[in-house]
Each structure stands twice: as C-alpha cells, then as structure tokens.
Structure 1
Amino acid sequence: MNLKSSILILIILCPFLSRSQQDSVVLNLDQCITLALKNNPDLKSRKLNSESATVNFKQSRNELLPNLSGNFSAGITNGRSIDPYSNDVIEQQLNYSNAGLNLNVTVFDGFRLLNQLKRDKLNIKAAEAEVQEARQNLILDVTMAYLGILNAEDLLQLSKIRRLNTQRQLDRLQKLNEEGNANPAEFNNIKGQFSADENSVIDAENNLKQSVSQLALLLNIDYKVFPEAYHSLEVYEKYNLSAERVFKEAVENLATFKAREFRIEAAEKQVKIARSNYYPQVGLFAQLNTNYSSTARTFTENGSEIVETGSYIQYNGQSLPVLANQIQYSSADITFLDQFSNNLNSGAGVSISIPIFNGFRAKNNVELQKINLKQSKIELESTKNQFRQRIIQVHADMETAYRQWQNLEEQVDAYQESFRINEIRYNAGASTIVDYIVSKNSLDQSRINLANAKFQYLLRVKVMEYYRGNIETGT
C-alpha cells in the first residue's frame, strides 16, 4: 500500500475514529430536527404506508386494462383413452399437449373499478397527509425535548450557583471553626444545607441526563445530543391570539384534519363500490386454442390391390370368394408445429352476470360500508373536539405561566434584595444562621420557580404554534 492510499484511508476513517472516542455531540435545534426526520422509525413506517397506498393505486388503475392469459399443458396417458386429435377410443400410449390464449375485458361492473381508482387516489392523499402529520408531531416532540434540555441546564446551573453560595459560607465557617471562633450549631446547619444543595445538583444532573436520553430516543441515535451552546431559554412577549383563533387555524392547516377528511371521502367511494354488486356485470371475452396428439397421422394413397372380402357366392354348386379392389395408403406422423397450426380454433363473445339473490350479502356489505363512513365522520368530529379541548387547556396554562413568570420576576428581585441584606447582617453577626438559610432558600427556590415558569410558558407557546401549523418555521 502506497503513501497516498494510506492517507486516503485515514481521511475516510478519521470521523469514525473520533466518533468512537466520544459518546456525545453538540447540535442546534434545526440539526436535531433534520436528524430525527431521517432516523425516526415511526416516521419511516408512515412513509412505507404511503408507498403501499401508491402501489394500491397503480394496481387499481391497471385493473381497467384487459386481462390476457396463456395456458399450456402436456402429458402422457397409457391404456384406454380418447385421442384428442380424432376423438377415437384408443388403447396405447398417448403423448398430448394443449395451448391457448384467453382475453377478458370488463365493459360494465357498476362503476366498481372507477370508484376503486378514485378511492385509492384519496387513500394516497390521506397517507401523505398522515406522513405530514407524523412529521409535524415529531418536530414538536423534538422541539419540546430540546427545550427540556435547555430548561434542565438552566436548573442545573441554578443548583450549582445555589451550592456555590452555600460553599462560600461553609468555607468561612470552616475557617472560623478551625480557629475555635464558630458556633457549632451554625457550622452544622450550614453543613446540612450544603448537603441539601449537593443533592439538588445531583437531582438536576439526573434530570438533564433523562432529558438528553429522551431526545436521543426521538433521534434514534446511540449517542447523546446537547444544545449548540448553553444559553437561557428564549422568552416571548405575551401571546395575543385567542384559543378559538388557534383552533380555527389548526383545522385549516394541520395535516391531522386533512388526513381525516381524505379518509371520509375514501369511505364514500367504498360505499359506491359496495353498491356496484347490485348491478349486472358485462364483459367481452375471446379465446384461441390448439392441441397436439402423438397418434395423429396423415394417410396418402399409393395404389390398390384385389383382396378377398371374406364373403362367398354360390355358382354352379360352387362357393366362390367375393373379391374387391382395396386402395392402399401409407401413413406419416404429423409434426408438432403442423398440428399446432392445423388445430387452431378461436371464439369470442359477450358475458353477462346478473345478480338475482346472494343471501343479502350485497345489501349487508353496503350497510357495513355506510357504518364505516359514519365512523370516519365521527372520528373527524372527535379529533376536532380533542384538539379544541387541548388548545383551550394549553392556552389557559400558557396564560397562567405568563402571569406566574411576571410575578416571579418581582419575587426574585425581592428575595434577592432580602438575601443581600441577610447575608450582610449574618456576616456581621447581626442575624442567625437560620435567618440566613431561610432567606437563601427562598431566593434559590424563587429562581428555580422563575426558570420553570419561563420554560412552561415557552413550551406552551411552541405548542400553540404547532396547532397553528407553524411548528417547522417557528413563526
């Protein structure tokens, strides 16, 4: 192997080698969405359903064409049988074969084939809409999981800041304790608070791991994904659209409702297909057949001779044999190709099948398809009701989260000022460790509540935009 080949192989393997040395990667939201759309197995399954619908449509279209079939058979018989060439009864070994072509054309079938074609075309549209529905749902799930990681990172960062503040006080009291100037109760209280803060960091780290695993599951990858760069969650101004406005846009834009509507139209065609069994079936047919027999012969006259017939006449008291002139023939086998050419026969005609009584199968099938149609319409109405309820609930939760977010900002400012004063007073010996810890915990908890409120508000804004059909662009 020359040097150039070795370098080329290293260049190709380099990304895989570097990948094997790490189990995580940093991606932005758009990259995560792209990866999910490529790898997610549920979306792949929906795409396969769409491909199946396309194949079914092609088959329905092809059924409008005539049916042409050919047949060929060959065999050997021994003993008593019918010669297919002469229709004589023979007792010898017989080699035979038959061949034929059959053509059938449907002229009228109660418009069954046409309605099948229309139904399967609607099924294609429904399947494509369901792929789009799965795509939209996946994008929403990835977006929520991605934001969940950001929220988990925010909470982890707050937990670390909380632990750091306690660490500073613990270090100060540790030094005083070593000098013999610390209050043992205060020193143990701050140690206990540090342990509690340490547990909060551990919990936050575990929540972050779970959020990362959830995103990796959606992306169908075996490594961890982290946001492109750490940053606080983006915030929005107050959402101004009403729940009714969002629901109206959802019905107009979401692929979920388009898929249900296409399924209803396909069910209507299925009712018409069932009704076609009430009508006569008219068709044209034609056929071409031939055969071969190993006993087939041709006979050629090659002269004559006088032979006794076996009869006698009496003449002058004598029995005289009766003679006759018998023509002599020579025989020859007829070749396979000659027989197939000579034995050709054809036929054509019209076939009509009129339904008279079939045990009410046609009637009951129509009733079943009507029930399926009603069920499809009910599913659409049920889906609308579910979405309306969800949108109303999400909208109410969003407004609640926004109000909580605004209130918590004021609360954080108030607790931050309170903690600043209590910290100064405690360091100066003017307050107790209990006052300090209570003030610190109140500030830390309000910061966590504020981060959660921002996340809950942002999450519901994303959901509302999904319902409007804007999840892919985020606008």
Structure 2
Amino acid sequence: MTFKLSMALYFIATLVLFGQTEQRIAMTLEECISLAIENNLDLKSTKLTKETWDVNFNQNKNALLPRVNGSYNLGIANGRSIDPFTNGIVNQELTFSNAALGLDFVAFNGFRLINRWKQAKLNLRSAEMEVEAAKQSVILNVTLTYLQVLNAQDLVKLAESRLTTTQGQLDRLRSLYEEETGNPAEYHDLQGQLALDASNSVERKNNLEIELINLNTLTNTETSITAVPLNTELEFEVYDYTAQEIYEQALQVFPTIKARDLSLEAAEKAIAVARSQYVPEISLFANLNTNYSSAAKLFNETGTGIAETGDFVTINNQDYSVFAQETNFTSENIPYRDQFDNNLNSSIGVSVSVPIFNGFRAKNNVALEKIKKEEAQTALAQIKLDLKQSIKRSYSAMATAFERYKLLQDQVDAYKESFRINEIRFNNGVSNSVDYIISKNNFDNAQTNLANVKYEYALRVKILEYYRGNI
C-alpha cells in the first residue's frame, strides 16, 4: 500500500511539474543574456542613475557660460502713484510698462565652476562604469543560473535513468514473484528502491523548476524559458592564471574598481570647490533698460495769446489787471514704441564679492569634503579587499572542483564496473538485492556527484573570468 501511494504521488508530481514547464521556450545562453540586458530592472535602475549624472554634468558645464536674462511687464495703476516716466507724483489711472535685458558673467571665483564641471565629469564617468559593472553582473548571473539549469537538467536525466533501471529490475522480479519462484524480500526491496528513486526524481524536477524560475526572473520576460542542453561536454583544463594574477588584472579592468577610483577623484575636486569659497568672486555685468507711461505727453506750440496774470497795478487809486503774452500748447500721447526707443538706458561694470566672515561656512565645507574623500578612500580599499578575498575563495573552489572531478571520474568508472558485475550476479541469482541496491546507489550517487562537480568547476571558471573582464 505504501509503495502504491508513493508511486501515485510521484506520477501526480511529475504531471504537475510537466504542466508547469511544457510551455517553456528553449533559448540559448546568448539569447537569455540579450533578454536580461534589455529587461533587467536593476540594470535599468543603474542606467537611470547614469542619466541623472549626465544631466548634472551638462548643467555644470553650461554654468560656465554667461547668464543673460530679460524681463518685461505691463500694468495699470490707480490712485496716487509715481509716474515711471517723470518720477513725479500723479493721482490718476496710469498704464505703465518696462523692459530690461541683463548680462552677468563670472570672470573668476577661485575656479569653482571649472572644478564643479570636472567633478561632474568624473561622477558621470563613474556612473558609466557602474552601468558597465551592472551589465557584467547581469551577464554573469545569467550565465551562472543558466549553467545551474543545465546541471539540474542533467540531474533530472540521471534520476529518470535511475528510475528506469530500477523499474526494469522490479518488472523482472514481479514475474518471478507472481510465479512464486523468486525471493519475496528481494521483490519488496526493489519496490522500496523504486519509491526512493521516484522521490529523488520528483525532487530533481522541483530543483530544475526553481532554477528555471531564477533564470526567468533575471531575464524579466513574460515568456517562460528554459535552457538549451549542451551538445558538447564542458572542457576541463588546468587554469592558466594564479589568484594573484587574476587580482592584478581585476584592478585594471574591473568596472567597480574603476568607478570607485573615479569617485575618489571626484571627491578631491569637491575639496577644491569648497576651498574656492575663500577666494573673492569677480563678475562682469551689463544692463539695458527702458520704460513706458501713459502719463507721458508731448506738448506742441499752437501760437500765443493774452492771458490775465492775476496781478494788478494801481494808478490814481484805480486798480488795473496785468496781462501777459503766453504761448499756447496742445498735448498728445507719446507712442509706446517711441517711449521705448527714447527711454533706453544702459550700464556696464565689474562686481567684486569678497568673503570676510560667513560663520566659518567655508572652513566647515572644506572639512566635510575631506571627510567624504576619506570615505571614498575607505570604500575603495574595502572593495579591493573584498575583491581579493572573493577571488581567493573562487580560485580555491575552482582548484578543488578540478581535483575532485578527476577523482570522481575514477570513482564513477569503478562503481560502474562494480554495478555491472553486481547486476549480472543479481540477474543470475548469485547475489541478493541488498548488494545490488548498494552497488546501484553507489554508482548513481557517484554520477550525481560528478555532474555537480563538473558544473561547479565551470561556474568557478566563469566567475574568475568575470573578474578578469572576460565575461
């Protein structure tokens, strides 16, 4: 009953796993890498950061150019106000307008703008290196996951082959059992072994499904994909480089190291920017202004006339009014354009701003930037240390996997021959099921270990090549 239940669960689990994977599209490693580079969210985020630094760089570069600003306004004033044309007090509705154009250019400020531009350029190059590092990291992760999928596929094949072999033996013993000529204990031993092999097969298929999910996560595509099985065996050769040689090459080509080097240079430029606050700032300026007022009038002479002055003279006790000749005028509005032309005025000059005391702001800013530089130096040293340790660990694991592969090859050959002999003996009734099962499990486990160490070696070599910049 237990055997039947185990086999039923195996077939149900197999159907479920098959249903999850039957729609997957087989893709090569190169196709998976292309998808990941296009869709990976971490890489997209890094690219957006780089675009931010690109805008920041352009902003600091454009800050070196002169600043030209224009202004224009038009309005209506009611009541008592100042006539912008005459500067006199008027009490009427007044339409006014003015326009201005100004130019401002920083001639010298302790190279602050230039150093900011250089700092932004270094930060941009650092961001570009971060993008390259993220890209290489995606390629590495896809490659490693792809190899893990291939490893899981091989293990599934081994498990299915193992299950098929056990099933064949069980079918042979079932005939003997039903004819009551075989050993019932051996028949039941093989039933138990078949259930164990079925359980291992389900576990292997589940592990494969997990690795496929990881691969799909990295590629970030709605299409379910799987890896194309290798047509050739993985190559096993003695690795040509030592851990120290790999580390020295990594210092020259590893994008993360380059990014931190550039960040350190940018921190040095930030100190120069902060120190420029000690230096006077010299600027050149030029301005052009004009205005308009509806109160401005043009008076035209229309002739002369006699008008009473309000004074008088007394002759013989008789008062006589005093009249005077005066010129008569008529007023007319001055056109908008004429006022703008007539009221033009300009100015040009030099402005000097001398820092005398600003609450030690400059001193504190310099101190803060020096701390940031030390932080950048510490971050660079830490990354180099982590890199060196990672290379050592990967190199040690690679060398161990290489040695284990050679030893496990011998073990597989030995257990293969042992299983062949025990299978013949078991089929001929010379040995018992216990010896057969032990020999079979030894051979199967040796094949599994060989498959694992084969891909372990390939993974470690890929990681070391990644550090060398050959991913």
Any residues of structure 2 matched to 1:343-358 within 5 Å, and which?
343-358=343-358
C-alpha distance in 2 between matches for 1:229 and 1:442: 26
AA at the equivalent of 2:167: Q
In structure 1, C-alpha distance between the alignment counterparts of 2:53 and 2:163, rounded to whole Å = 58
Q: Secondary structure at the match of 2:407?
A: helix
CA distance in 1, matches of 2:61, 2:250: 34
Q: CA RMSD, aligned part only?
A: 1.4
- In the other structure, the counterpart of 1:266 is 266
Tell me the amino acid that sits aligned with residue 94 of structure 2: L
8 Å contact kept, 1:150–1:232: no
TM norm structure 1: 0.92
Q: Structure 1 residue 391: deviation in Å?
A: 0.8
Aligned to 1:81: 81
Structure 1 position 210 matched with structure 2 position 210? yes
Corresponding residue of 1:7:
none
1:140-155 → structure 2 map (5 Å cutoff): 140-155=140-155
Indicate if the aligned counterparts of 1:233 and 1:455 stay in contact, CA closer than 8 A: no
Aligned equivalent of 2:161:
161
What amino acid is the match of 2:407?
Answer: N
Query: Are residues 1:51 and 2:51 paired?
Result: yes
Matched with 1:367 is 367
- Relative to the length of structure 2, the TM-score reads 0.93
Alpha-carbon offset, residue 404 of structure 1: 1.5
Contact 1:68 1:104 in 2 (8 A): yes
Q: Distance in 1 between matches of 2:359 and 2:88?
A: 45
- SS of alignment partner, residue 203 of structure 1: helix
* 1:94-132 Cα deviation digits (max 9, x unpaired): 111111101101100110111112112212221111111
Amino acid at match of 2:194: F
Q: Structure 1: how far apart are the matches of 2:253 and 2:81?
A: 74
User: What residue is the counterpart of 1:448 in the other structure?
Assistant: 448
Secondary structure of 2:73 counterpart: strand
Distance in 1 between residues matched to 2:382 and 2:233, nearest whole Å: 35
Contact 1:57 1:121 in 2 (8 A): yes
Structure 2 contact 150–229 (Cα < 8 Å) conserved? no
Shift in Å, 1:442: 1.2
> Which residue does 2:458 correspond to in 1?
458
> How far apart are 1:350 and its partner, in Å?
0.6
Q: Is the contact made by 1:60 and 1:117 (CA closer than 8 Å) also made in structure 2? A: yes
Unaligned runs of 5+ in 1: 1-21
Report the counterpart of residue 406 of structure 2 in structure 1.
406
Distance 1:246 1:394 in 2: 11
Q: Secondary structure at the match of 1:430?
A: coil
Which residue in the other structure is 1:6 paired with?
Answer: none
The residue number in structure 2 matching 1:308 is: 308
Alignment of 1:174-213 (within 5 A): 174-213=174-213
Question: Which residue is 1:376 aligned to?
Answer: 376
**TM-superposition CA deviations, 1:331-373 (whole Å, max 9, x none):** 1011111111111111111100000111111111111111111
Following superposition of structure 1 onto structure 2, how do residues 390-401 of structure 1 map, counting pairs within 5 Å?
390-401=390-401
SS at match of 2:338: helix
The offset of 1:233, in angstroms, is: 5.0
Task: Report the Cα distance in structure 2 between the residues aligned to 1:169 and 1:432, rounded to whole angstroms.
Answer: 13
- Equivalents in 2 of 1:230, 1:182: separation in Å? 43
Aligned partner of 1:238 in structure 2 is: 238
- The separation in 2 between residues aligned to 1:82 and 1:239, in whole angstroms, is 90
**Superposed counterparts of 1:314-333, under 5 Å:** 314-333=314-333
User: % of aligned pairs identical?
Assistant: 47
When structure 1 is superposed on structure 2, of 309-318 and 254-263 the one drifting more is 309-318
Partner of 2:256: 256
The residue identity in structure 2 corresponding to 1:415 is Y
C-alpha separation in 2, matches of 1:424 and 1:26 = 40
Greater shift, 386-395 or 184-193, is seen at: 184-193
Question: Separation in 1 of the partners of 2:406 and 2:363?
Answer: 65
Deviation at 1:222, TM superposition (A): 1.6
1:70-110 superposed Cα distances (whole Å, 9 cap, x missing partner): 00111111111111112221111111111110110110011
Query: d(CA) in 1 for partners of 2:461 and 2:199?
Result: 32
Which deviates the most, 58-67 or 35-44?
Answer: 35-44
Q: What is the rounded CA distance, in whole Å, between the counterparts of 1:421 and 1:254 in structure 2? A: 53
Report the Cα offset of residue 230 of structure 1.
Answer: 4.5
Aligned to 2:12: none
Per-residue CA shift, 1:206-253, capped at 9, x if unaligned?
111111121111111122323334546503212242111111111111
Deviation string, structure 1 residues 307-349 (Cα, Å, up to 9, x no partner): 2222222210112112222221111011111111111111111
Aligned-partner residue type, residue 189 of structure 2? N
**In structure 1, what is the Cα distance between the partners aligned to 2:232 and 2:403?**
19
Q: Count matched residues.
A: 450
CA contact (8 A) 2:236 2:402 kept: no
Secondary structure of 1:135's counterpart equals helix
Residue in structure 2 matched with residue 439 of structure 1 by the alignment:
439
Mapped contact 1:151–1:233 kept (Cα < 8 A): no
- Which letter maps to 1:462? K
Aligned residue identity for 1:396: S
SS at match of 2:86: coil
Task: Check whether the contact 1:233–1:454 (CA below 8 A) recurs between aligned residues.
Answer: no
Aligned partner of 2:228 in structure 1 is 228
Letter of the structure 1 residue corresponding to residue 295 of structure 2: T
Q: Look up the equivalent residue of 1:365 and give its one-letter code.
A: N
Deviation at 1:50, TM superposition (A): 2.4
Query: Could you tell me how far 1:48 is from its partner in structure 2?
Result: 2.5
